A and B are shown apart, each in its own frame.
Chain A
Amino acid sequence: MSEEQTKKKLRGNETTKNQITTTNETFSDLPLDTMLKLYYQHIFPVKEMYDWLSIDDFLTKRNYFSRREFAFDTLKFRRHLSYSSPKDLQNQLIQNHPFKIHVGPLYNTIPRDKHLVSVFTPVERELVFDIDLTDYDPVRTCCEGAKICTKCWTLMTVAIKVLDFILRRSFGFQHLLWVYSGRRGVHCWVCDTRARRLSEKSRAALASFINIEVTKSGWVDLRHPMNPVIKKVYNEILVDYFEDLVVDQDFFGDQDQNKRSFLNKFSNNVLVLIRNSELRDRIQQRWTSQNEEKSRWHILKEELEYEQQNSKKKSNFYNRNDNYTKILQVIIFTTIYPRLDIGVSKKLNHLLKSPFSVHTGTENKKICIPINPKECDDFDPTEPKCVPTLIGVVNDLNNSKKNQNLNYNSTNLKKYVDMFVNDFLKPLRLQLEKEHKERILSRKKNIMDIENF
């Protein structure tokens, strides 16, 4: 379909239709398939995706792009798909108009030709993480399941901050792509060369390092002495965010209408963590007293800190087992530390939803856009205008001026494609160029060494 034809189709009969408004309602009656086709033809940033997934094909002849696995969710689910060029990918997207696209690993050969080889195995893959708000259901009090709101989205913000911190500072990775997964979570793609080449064992080790297990009791298993990385995350990120979240999520059930408070949901409530029965009773009393103006969290902290000070003066045998800071730590880690699905990160052949894919599961059909980790405090997908939707961008296309090219630049998606290119793709490419130059230099050096030998 040529651009002109598309425009005509969108606008319908010019004489009968008035100036079309920018409301979404106008095009919600276009069938999903048609919208997806339009999306893949004009809006989905196929060239930019190619630039990313082809890694250093622009420098070497390693055929990274053709060896990359894609999977399409259409009426059937098909994996081990591969393409030779961005045009090829785009044509197949239009033809099949999948409602979900997955990106898999790089294989040793072209996935489409896997039956022609004796060994078909993944060789490289970005390090990926998948965080989902439903994993926080044991602690969320405002929503549960697929439902999300501004209050619980903050938990995702914390997760992004923590993971970003650890991946960059501890593991030295620099090229992280954070993507909104379309409804209630985020994905992280670590695209450094070192990350792509990690073995499954290394990935499992890394994921286990970041992960903090939640035991059957519902409380996390914190190892002491605490690893300095985790400690830093606690002091620099978790402590502050907890102060906001403890109010938003009402973990301690200060508002007694909130029967779903974390405190109430747990069969072993918080006070079980405190073994000193005198202290426990004192806190319980203050919590139920009518005269207290302070919040329960505030009271808890106060009492524990007081006890901590006192225990330094008194003989230690009574309170030896109770380390009061540890109790606070357990509470904070259990409620707001990122909850990972480490299975996703361990395997090389795991398929993950593609950035700029459409989440067709919801009514709004949000697009999986990149998130800037430095500005993630301002990102709130529950805000109606925050995330571009399929209907919205198709609409934008329609409203674009006659002489403009039909592509993502005339839509709401432009800002996000630009972010993808400027904040992520360009630095990654620079790095790949640098690595390429270093390889050439070291090869030259090796040759010279041999010649001089």
Chain B
Amino acid sequence: MNKVEFTPKSNSQENVLSFYKEPPHQDIEISLLGKYANERLQVLREIEGAKLQGLKPTSKEVMKVITKHLPIRSQATKKEVEKDQISHFILRLAFSQTEESRRWFLSNETSLFKCRWAMLSSNERQNFLKRINFAHKFFKIKNEKLREELEGFVDLENNRFCKVPFEDVPDMVATKRVFVSEGFAYVCESNVISILGKMFNNHLMDSLSLSSKFLPQIWQDKRMKKLLEVLKDSYSQSELASSYFSTSKVNLKDLVWLSARSFPPCMERLHTSLKQQHHLRHWGRMQYGLFLKGIGLSLEDSLIFWKNEFTKKMNTKTFDTEYGYNIRHNYGKEGKCTNYTPYSCSKIINLSSSPSEYHGCIFRTVKHESLALKLETVGQDQPERVQKILQLSQNKHFQIACQQYWLLRHPKETTGEPISTLTGTIHPNSYYNNSIEYYKRIQEQSKNKKNAQNQTNQK
């Protein structure tokens, strides 16, 4: 029997919106479990895509997807409730393992929650607040002094407010959208989602760290282990992480022209900085070193490459003791022998860096003026695209800026968009792979042209 057992307990809800405090208690077929999980994943990816594009998660496209896979209605069917609960909890397990996956899950689940709130009617919202025993009371502001202060800032006549500690609504406080006095924020009823969103976020954050503790127990069941692994690797629109590894090898001598031609701008910068400074600091070495592994640089060649550069400023012995070990570690030859995967864009973007370091995403860390200069040199003939890239960087759409940069550098691209505009570049190695494919195609095309010409000449 392909079933996974939960301890039985009843679970009824009026509508589907939930804080997911109680895990579901029923039996379910494992294939259905996977199906539910994938559907929810699709919704979360859709939300991520919308956010990357700068759309609010409450946009029409996202709402359509939510309604299709995870509908929210006041009289939801038992099945819909079950699907929502089960899919959340299984994904919570799958994504509790690493810091990065937790962050992704947390961010998109919170957006999903907010989006679903937006779809509720006023009555449904009241019911939800009642159900969770929402601690704060709503009131009309009667105090004269307070009314005078708030005059012109909020609509005092048509709104009720609640008083919450300012820590509960950090987003509203940060943007000065809320009046704060004596440590309390006066939140308008229509903005109660800010409070709920933060509550949801806090609860899920705590739950994720708890969930990770259950993982070893759950991994005992091989079916669960496999399911969780597949789910974990498949988030963020990516194919399985292992597909980023290039099947072809790369030669040491090719690195120079490859870096100028096919590397994503972040790696190109690291390469240039390494050549100039004959050194890179920790994150720079990690980001670039793992990338090189991904494009097919062997361990031996990698050691030669780094040694060559570093020993221009230090002696061989220092290199061997301090850096050699770590390179071998990255290839899984030392310590616990983990085969580290090259960093994805989201990881790279979130790396913190200081001015003397060269890692991270250039669209985020490099100053506007320097970025503009660089773009203008490589994209002299495409000024609109250059402007577009600068605009996207400023608006913090780094990955889409990178995708546009790819198009800038590969101008003869005719097969469409190998990197989707919806999500932008998601992995430096996929940028590289796409570039290699592009040049292969160009070669093919020119070969075909030559053959065709020869044929006509022969005639």
Contacts and interface: CB of A to CB of B under 8 A. Distances in A.
Given A227-B153, A228-B153, A172 B182 contact: yes
B170 A169 contact: no
B183 A202 contact: no
Given A202-B166, A209-B174, A228 B183 contact: no
Contact of A201 (B153, B170, B178): B170
A232 B148 CA distance: 11
B153 A205 contact: no
Give the size range of B's interface with the partner. 20 to 34
A194 B183 CA distance: 10
B309 interface: no
A350 B126 CA distance: 43
B176 A209 contact: yes
Contacts of B178: 227
B174 A232 contact: no
Interface in B217-238: none
Contact of B166 (A171, A226, A232): A171
B167 A199 contact: yes
Contacts of A239: none
Interface in B372-420: none
A441 interface: no
Contact of B179 (A204, A205, A208, A228): A228
Nearest to B180: A170
B276 interface: no
B446 interface: no
Contact of A171 (B170, B174, B180): B180
A62 B361 CA distance: 42
A229 interface: yes
A229 B179 contact: yes
A225 interface: yes
**Dominant SS at the A interface?**
helix
B153 A172 contact: no
B428 to A, nearest CB: 28
A143 interface: no
B149 A232 contact: yes
B173 A208 contact: yes
A225 B170 contact: no
B124 interface: no
A23 B167 CA distance: 53
A170 B173 CA distance: 11
A173 B183 CA distance: 8
Interface in B171-212: 171, 173-184
B346 to A, nearest CB: 19
B430 to A, nearest CB: 32
Contacts of A198: 167
Q: Of residues A173, A208, A209, A230, which shows the largest number of chain B Cβ atoms within 10 Å of its Cβ?
A: A209
A209 B175 CA distance: 6
B152 interface: yes
Interface in A196-224: 198-199, 201-202, 204-206, 208-209, 223
A209 B180 contact: yes
Interface string A176-210: 00000000000000000010001101101110110
B166 A229 contact: no
Contacts of B181: 169-170, 172, 229
A226 B170 contact: no
B170 A204 contact: yes
Nearest to A204: B174
Interface string A228-239: 111010000000
A300 B312 CA distance: 63
B150 interface: yes
A229 B170 CA distance: 16
A226 B182 contact: no
Contacts of B183: 170-173, 194
A169 B177 CA distance: 17
A202 B153 CA distance: 23
Contacts of B179: 227-229
A231 to B, nearest CB: 8
A227 B176 contact: yes
A315 to B, nearest CB: 23
A173 to B, nearest CB: 8
Contact of A206 (B171, B173, B177): B173
Nearest to A226: B153
Q: Of residues A173, A205, A223, A229, which shows the largest number of chain B Cβ atoms within 10 Å of its Cβ?
A: A205
A230 B177 CA distance: 11
A75 B183 CA distance: 43
A172 B182 CA distance: 4
Interface string B256-285: 000000000000000000000000000000
Contacts of A230: 176
Given A204-B174, A208-B175, A229 B180 contact: yes
A209 B153 contact: no
A202 B185 CA distance: 13
Given A208-B175, A232-B149, A202 B180 contact: no
A227 B149 CA distance: 9
A226 B152 CA distance: 9
Contact of B153 (A170, A173, A208, A225): A225
Given A169-B181, A170-B181, A171-B166, 19 more contacts: A170-B183, A172-B184, A173-B183, A194-B183, A201-B170, A202-B167, A202-B170, A204-B170, A204-B174, A205-B173, A208-B174, A226-B153, A227-B153, A227-B177, A227-B178, A228-B150, A228-B179, A229-B179, A232-B149
Which 10 pairs across A and B sit closest by C-beta, in order of nearness?
Answer: A172-B183, A205-B170, A208-B174, A205-B174, A205-B173, A172-B182, A227-B176, A170-B180, A228-B149, A202-B167
Interface of A: 169-173, 194, 198-199, 201-202, 204-206, 208-209, 223, 225-230, 232
14 contacts: A169-B181, A170-B181, A170-B183, A194-B183, A198-B167, A204-B174, A205-B174, A208-B174, A209-B174, A225-B153, A227-B179, A228-B153, A228-B179, A229-B180
Interface of B: 149-150, 152-153, 166-167, 170-171, 173-184
